[in-house]
Structure 1
């Protein structure tokens, strides 16, 4: 019996479903691996994070993974993975193997988008075996969260016709002159398109569709396909559970050991589907509820920048609803000399700058993105009592300069 027949048998017997449920249980219990203080709020958000991971992974890896029905679909509402900026939407389409595709669409008026093709560790017909019993060691062979960019194409590199339309070919072989091309490899798993908004109330998003160039007729789902989709989904939830733990206190970031700093790291950003057209500084933050964190930096010339505040699980504290939690190049207040001041506190202390509500959190992750620039900028940081925040003396800053690893 080949692996596809095994996957079919496991789905029909219910074994594939049981393994999926067991994998979700294993992921949820991974909070016990966090060594350090966890508030009731941290724990509540962890389990909510698990439900969001399950929901988004089902959308990406079951609903949106039919090989004869390729679709570009946005991430589900309120999902925020890997310090995802509120100003971006993520369109994804899962590939079961590197066939040839065409994306057609209209440019819209958003300032910028980028297409990236990605790969991750994955066996053929993963629905043919149990994964829960392999635990976190199984992620070495099968980890949908471990996305690596193998090629990307920014909107400025794509020719747009007078009517606003464009076309991009995705294939292993060069389609020749006159075509915008994204090269696929036999291991390509999916495409991710990041749409960056300036003003959601007025910008017009690109309209994009994807099709297979062989024009294969749509086919109904099969037991083997659903068995594979359940395995992909369970491993994605498990992989992201380990990813956020590893960023917080593992060898991928260990932010818990170096709190209240921001480190520019190309390797850190590219470790999960990033594209090398930007500089991103990540770090961990911590303060008491009666304290404030104040940052200052001067943005360089760039296509786009943003600063955002997240919880321990890399979710933006606002997540689209309250107009807080982040600032960017088009929604911020700058000092006369161009400096941007960010005040993170439970209430606005009234010292000017850009107040970001910490929403009852005492620790988490933050990020500064500088898109399409070769420059990084120094960052200054103060941790001060909220009651007497007053004037900030540069000599009392707890962080100065920039860190590059």
Structure 2
């Protein structure tokens, strides 16, 4: 046996670095937090297999990114896929657009999970379906390369120097009615067949895979703590991320007691092509969103008669429209998004006693019966399960 190949248990040691990131959570001595970090480490470790073993830049293929399994703050309305690329090669993405509300491509340096901070992501370029043409039959083709191929007049997006990752968002507003795209990605340059990995290559990739849980924890715990430091609790802190020029995020750290509720209140843009609000747990994982009403968007929300949006966070169903269910968490983060909207209002958050909630809502706020909520949840589950998720 090759003595350079360590027993497998030796490769797992870097997972302890992920657990040490407990020190950067809000309650590092809480056994529940520790258990959640263990679970999160294994979740991110499984994501790491796709990062380092599924595809390479010469032989690209879509891998699952954020979804109901890989829960590091995915937008519940989005399905994310990614592939490694190289900035000196040419790629073609082609297939059926489907009927999703938005189709968004981002190229950048830094496959999610390989870097430790948001600031490291650069070489970013993004396009969505307002930037490229789709045939009347729903088919599309986009070429990604450093320079536009000579004589090519079709859809093209530039790969900036250093770009090594492309990822795509399938964004649905009405999960039950929209159809996912069917897309392929291929390298157009002459490349050798995909090789069998050597023992040394496997070992090196295993070592890199084991770092991903630590990297993800450092990245997302810091993002969450930055919000808390900048705004405190129950206050919105708007931010923009590289590559998403049309999207304004408005996160907040939420906190309330078991007998309380939070009311999120905002004006609505005159033109709101897309918006949503979601809840994350204290480790920045999206709260269960297939079997819980933990997110809301323009398809599922009710706008009040005065034109305002009011959303309620509470542990138990308060019987009002626009309830966000935190699935047992009384602290975490909420993330709102305005995408390609005519204005960018900043919502407010009001903390109230749950028993007094209706005193803070319009007098004509309807009552949602338990049977109506159950029916809505069943529709949500069916719609979520019929989407491509991995």
* Shift, 1:198, TM fit: 2.3
Residues 19 and 282 (structure 1 numbering): CA distance in 2 closer, same or farther, change over 3 Å?
farther
Within 5 Å, give how 1:326-337 maps onto structure 2.
326-337=295-306
User: How does 1:8-87 map onto structure 2 within 5 Å?
Assistant: 13-14=4-5, 20-34=11-25, 36=27, 39-63=30-54, 65-75=55-65, 78-80=68-70, 83-87=73-77
Cα distance change of structure 1 residues 30 and 69 upon mapping to structure 2, 3 Å threshold? same
Whether 1:315 aligns to 2:281 is: no
Consecutive unaligned residues in structure 1, runs of 5 or more: 1-10, 123-138, 395-405
Equivalent position of 1:218 in the other structure: 193
Does the 8 A contact of 1:334 with 1:353 survive in 2? no
Cα RMSD, aligned residues only: 3.0
Give the SS at the match of 1:241.
helix
Say which of 263, 280, 284 aligns to 1:294.
263
Query: What is the Cα deviation at residue 380 of structure 1?
Result: 2.4
Aligned to 1:204: 179
Question: Matches of 1:142 and 1:362 in 2, distance apart?
Answer: 30
SS of the aligned residue for 2:263 comes to strand
- The answer to whether the Cα contact below 8 Å between 1:116 and 1:149 also exists between their aligned partners in 2 is no
Contact 1:16 1:227 in 2 (8 A): no
Q: Aligned equivalents of 1:218 and 1:157: distance in 2?
A: 34
What is the correspondence of 1:115-264 to structure 2 with a 5 Å cutoff?
115-120=105-110, 143=116, 146-148=120-122, 150-176=124-150, 178-223=153-198, 224-249=200-225, 252-255=226-229, 258-264=232-238
Distance 2:71 2:276 in 1: 16
Q: Which moved more, 1:189-198 or 1:375-384?
A: 375-384
3-state SS of 1:22 partner: coil
Match of 1:391 among 356, 359, 383: 359
Matched, 1:95 2:85: yes
Distance 2:142 2:196 in 1: 28
Using the alignment, how far apart are the partners of 2:210 and 2:22 within structure 1? 16
Change (3 A) 1:385 1:42: farther
Q: Structure 2 length normalisation: TM-score?
A: 0.82
Q: CA 1:12/1:162 → structure 2, altered by over 3 Å: closer, same or farther?
A: farther
Partner residue in 2 for 1:304: 274
Separation in 2, partners of 1:391, 1:37? 37
Q: Judging changes above 3 Å, is the alpha-carbon distance between structure 1 residues 276 and 228 closer, same or farther for their aligned structure 2 residues?
A: farther
Q: Which ranges in structure 2 are unaligned for 5 or more consecutive residues?
A: 363-390
Q: Secondary structure at the match of 1:86?
A: coil
**How much has 1:28 moved relative to structure 2?**
2.1
Residues 142/90 of structure 1: CA separation in 2 closer, same or farther (3 Å cut): closer
The Cα shift of 1:144 comes to: 8.6
2:387 aligns to what? none
| Residues 94 and 15 of structure 1: CA distance in aligned 2, closer, same or farther (over 3 Å) | farther
C-alpha contact (below 8 Å) 2:117/2:219 kept by paired residues: no
Query: Paired residue for 1:349, among 314, 318, 341?
Result: 318
Alignment equivalent of 1:369, drawn from 337, 355, 360: 337
**Cα distance between partner residues in 2 of 1:89 and 1:306:** 15
Cα gap change, 1:144 to 1:212, in 2 (>3 Å): farther
Q: CA deviation at 1:197?
A: 0.9
Contact 1:55 1:76 in 2 (8 A): no
Distance, in Å, in 1 between the alignment partners of 2:3 and 2:145 is 35
- 1:248 is paired with a residue whose SS is helix
Deviations 1:180-209 (A, max 9, x none): 222113421210101101233321111110
**TM-score, length of structure 1 as denominator length:** 0.79
